[in-house]
Structure 1
Amino acid sequence: MLLDHSCSFCWFVAATALIRFLKAKILQGNEAETLKLTSEIQVIRFMLQNLGSRTIVGLRQNMILEEMYAAEVQPLIDRVMSPPSVEELSAATGFFGMF
Structure 2
Amino acid sequence: MMDLWLAPWRASLALTASTLEMMLTAQKSLAGVQGVPEFQPMDEARMREAFHSAADANLRRWGDTADAINNLPDWYRDLSRVPGGVMTDWFDAARRGPQD
Which bracket does the TM-score occupy, shorter chain normalised?
A: 0.3 to 0.5
Q: Give TM-score scaled by structure 1 length.
A: 0.40
TM-score in terms of structure 2 length: 0.39
